[in-house]
Amino acid sequence: MLALSILVSVVCSLTALLGIYYAIRDLSADLVLLGACALVALVWAIFGITLGLRDLAGGHPEDRITLYGYLLTGFAMLIGGGWVSLWERSRWGSLVIAVVSLVAMVLLMRLHQIWPGGFA
């Protein structure tokens, strides 16, 4: 589980850096940046499914509502950020992907704090 968390962090940070680069260069989101956002959403979904399966197998979190709320919020936020950047054809669309990726990293850190037993 730790390796999957590291993978999510790396993909999120690289996507955030790419989004910041696009915003600084005044570039709109193209297929590369949108693909990176889709990759973050895919990795986040795999992470959420893995945590859900671990919960079903008996790794009981202290607060399931918060756990699944964070997972669903992160996934919906990534999909929404990609959608906004698809329609906002300026540097701000690229910046939206960068911010969404950074917030996904913060959500991942918070997940480690609220459910530390699930990551061992």
Amino acid type, 46: I
Confidence at residue 51, expressed as pLDDT on a 0 to 100 scale? 84
CB 67 within 8 A of CB 51: yes
Confidence at residue 116, expressed as pLDDT on a 0 to 100 scale? 66
Question: SS3 for 2?
Answer: helix
CB 45 within 8 A of CB 73: no
Confidence at residue 120, expressed as pLDDT on a 0 to 100 scale? 46
The CA distance from 102 to 54, in Å, is: 25
Confidence at residue 118, expressed as pLDDT on a 0 to 100 scale? 54
Confidence at residue 61, expressed as pLDDT on a 0 to 100 scale? 62
Confidence at residue 119, expressed as pLDDT on a 0 to 100 scale? 54
pLDDT tens, residue order, the chain (120 aa): 788 889 999 999 999 999 999 999 999 888 999 999 999 999 999 998 988 888 777 766 666 788 888 889 999 999 999 999 989 888 899 999 999 999 999 999 988 887 765 554
